[in-house]
Amino acid sequence: MAKITFGIIVGNRGFFPDVLAKEGRKNILDALKRNGYGGVCLPMTETKYGAVETFEDAKKCAALFASKRDKIDGIIVTLPNFGDERGVAQAIKRSGLNAPILVQAEQDTPDQMAMGQRRDSFCGKISVCNNLRQAGIPFTLTASHTVKVSSPEFDKELARFAAVCRIVKGLKSVRFGAIGSRPAAFNTVRYSEKILELADIAVEPIDLYEMLGRVDRLGDNEPGVRAKLAAIKNYTLTEAMPAASLLKMAKFGYVIDKWVKQNELAGTAIQCWTALEEFFGIVPCTLMSMMSESLLPSACEVDVTGLLSMYILQLAGGTPSALLDWNNNFGDDPDKCVLFHCSNIPKSLLATSKMDFQEIIAGAVGKDNTYGTIVGRIKAGPATFCRLTTDDIEGMLSAYVGEGEFTNDKLDTFGGYGVMKINNLQSLMAYVCNMGFEHHVAVNMSQTADAVAEALGNYMGWDVYRHT
């Protein structure tokens, strides 16, 4: 992940001890360094202790932030004392930055409440938030109203806020590729390009015939094809796979890689079912797994909003995401279910993996036409799930997000799969069905649901259900 850098506003108010602002500036910069983040803050020589109090201070802070706009991913307002709410709001407004904002207030200590020691940050935070609200500026709160910058609790707040910033920044002018048309049997993955475009999300389509035409022009010994073939063999076990199928995969993957690079795409959604198998003779699952593993997520069945869901979780967690089916109940346990795909799961999510054939459609198109899946069981551990959809009736983007845990429950099946435990699963499934969400869901082996909900709901303005 690229290093996150925060713009820092240290609040101060003259009739409170200035030394608190001086200490607060040092403490917040120490916290950023401790957690591996960068910081942009007024120098001590520019204003009193590098804090923001007056209108002149706000202008200096705004000019500094504006000069570093390409570097700053989010803004942290730290209140070591009451702070001046006008100065904070003016600095943010005049900077022109459209970035997430975290408001933190330092804790008072009961035995240090005399006039020379008290902070009143508890109260000052309310005033700062009131001014931001009046200005129509969205902001993020810490879980506790006051929290010490030097505490492990604040370290967690920084991690969550960094995930929010990565999501918001990553969604600006993002471009996805759609390879082929939606399979006729999958009405569930319909989506609105227009609604996505209004959200600054572009979709670059290309016909599957055009992609395969480019494949047909490649020689077997093309250097890029040989390099892709070597990459496939290095990625997973391929010994049992026909050489002809591996060569087809290499050519198709090489063409996709070039197209993705030429069009500056952040991910792809690919037609699979069942044109590639019938008329080309492979499944693209391994290629998609490789792309997702390299943080260029790839979704099957031209599920573009499923791809968007994968991408958002990837931004939040910094690790590869998978797209799975809500597929089966797990016995009589109301809080467990089976998540499954054929599969194109990134191998880092799997306990073990190998290349195989696609068992579901082999009977229809022949086993020899279905080599290329990545099969295995998903590792046990905590995970976040998420799904975006374009709600054409309401004309908006909607999402749900929550957390669960992949278990080690015994299960004898095929493809890529895992058993997930989700508290109150039955109410989640009722919500999915009642709201008309798709049968695909993105998962990531991280715990970032709060950050996703905050980023999409508060800063993107989308309709978000946070499952608890």
- pLDDT tens column, 111-141: 665 566 677 999 999 999 999 999 999 999 9
Q: Are residues 353 and 457 in the same domain?
A: yes
CA distance 306 to 385: 11
Average pLDDT of the residues in 312-336: 98
Per the structure, the count of domains in the chain is: 2
Instruction: Name the burial class of residue 375, with classes exposed (0-12), middle (13-18) and buried (19+) by CB atoms within 10 angstroms of its CB.
Output: buried
CB 109 within 8 A of CB 90: no
Whether the per-residue pLDDT at 291 is higher than 90: the answer is: yes
Average pLDDT of the residues in 374-380: 97
Q: Which among 155, 170, 185 is the end of a domain?
A: 170
Q: Are residues 432 and 347 in the same domain?
A: yes
Please report the pLDDT score of residue 15 as a whole number: 67
What residue has token string 């600054």?
200
Please report the pLDDT score of residue 228 as a whole number: 98
Whether the per-residue pLDDT at 271 is higher than 60: the answer is: yes
Q: Are residues 12 and 80 in the same domain?
A: yes
Q: Are residues 407 and 344 in the same domain?
A: yes
Q: What percent of the chain has pLDDT over 90?
A: 90
Where residue 287 sits, what CATH number does that domain have? 3.20.14
Where residue 165 sits, what CATH number does that domain have? 3.40.50.10940
Q: Are residues 19 and 36 in the same domain?
A: yes
Q: Are residues 340 and 413 in the same domain?
A: yes
Q: Are residues 325 and 461 in the same domain?
A: yes
pTM across the whole model: 0.96
Q: Which residues pair with 174 in a beta bridge?
A: 201
Strand 140-141 versus strand 101-105 pairing type: parallel
Q: Are residues 38 and 180 in the same domain?
A: no
Average pLDDT of the residues in 345-371: 92
In terms of residue numbers, what domain contains 330? 174-466
Please report the pLDDT score of residue 183 as a whole number: 87
User: Is the previous residue joined to 274 through a cis bond, with omega within 30 degrees of 0?
Assistant: yes
Q: Are residues 308 and 339 in the same domain?
A: yes
Q: Are residues 104 and 231 in the same domain?
A: no
Q: What is the pLDDT of residues 222-242, one digit of tens each?
A: 999 999 999 999 999 999 999
Q: Which among 115, 148, 170 is the end of a domain?
A: 170
Q: Are residues 211 and 194 in the same domain?
A: yes
Average pLDDT of the residues in 306-333: 98
Q: Which among 133, 153, 170 is the end of a domain?
A: 170
Please report the pLDDT score of residue 115 as a whole number: 61
Q: Are residues 255 and 159 in the same domain?
A: no
